[in-house]
Amino acid sequence: MSSPPPPPEWEGYFHALLYQVPEEARAFRDKLRRTARLAGFGLLTGGVLISTTDRRERVAELLDGA
């Protein structure tokens, strides 16, 4: 059994996804957070998700439809 590859080396800065979605669009907000977390973003605080690598292509399709 082989071990997983090491994570990519940190470039020294974070990539952030900032969002503000009203309560009326809760389903979209939940889907956005869920998709971003599955893509590798971590929750920094409400409305701010961060990643050590650029993961925008993994959430681009969802954001294009917003």
Give pTM, 2 decimals: 0.76
DSSP letters for the chain: -PPPPPPPPP-SS-EEEE----GGGHHHHHHHHHHHHHHT-EEEETTEEEESS--GGGTHHHHHT-
Tens digit of each residue's pLDDT, the chain (66 residues): 678 888 778 889 999 999 999 999 999 999 999 999 999 999 999 999 999 988 888 888 888 877
